[in-house]
Amino acid sequence: MDTISIREPAAVDIRHISAEELAQLGMQEIAYVRPVVVDGSACFGIYAADGTPMAIAGGLDVAIAAIMQHEMVPTQVH
């Protein structure tokens, strides 16, 4: 009979993480939306947590839906 081993998640002491590790927190889970102008048209830019551009959407609702469709948490930047 095969057995499945389950590992406990690794504990991270956030008081002792590097700047690089801190920058990576939330990278795969959080995206933010901010208004942008593309070719003279008002749009909404979708960015990774580190500011990397990921997509442009014509409306805020579309931007939020796209983020959620990719199992990320949307955040709006003012």
The residue that leads in pLDDT, 17 or 60, is 60
- Domain contains 9: no
Mean pLDDT computed over 40-57:
92
User: Domain tally for the chain?
Assistant: 1
CA atoms within 13 A on the CB side of 56: 9
Instruction: Give pLDDT, residue 25.
Output: 63
10 Å Cβ neighbour count for 46? 23
Instruction: Give pLDDT, residue 24.
Output: 64
Can you give the pTM of this predicted structure? 0.65
Is it the case that residue 12 has pLDDT exceeding 70?
no
- Domain contains 15: no
CA distance 69 to 47: 15
- Domain contains 53: yes
Domain that holds residue 69: 27-76
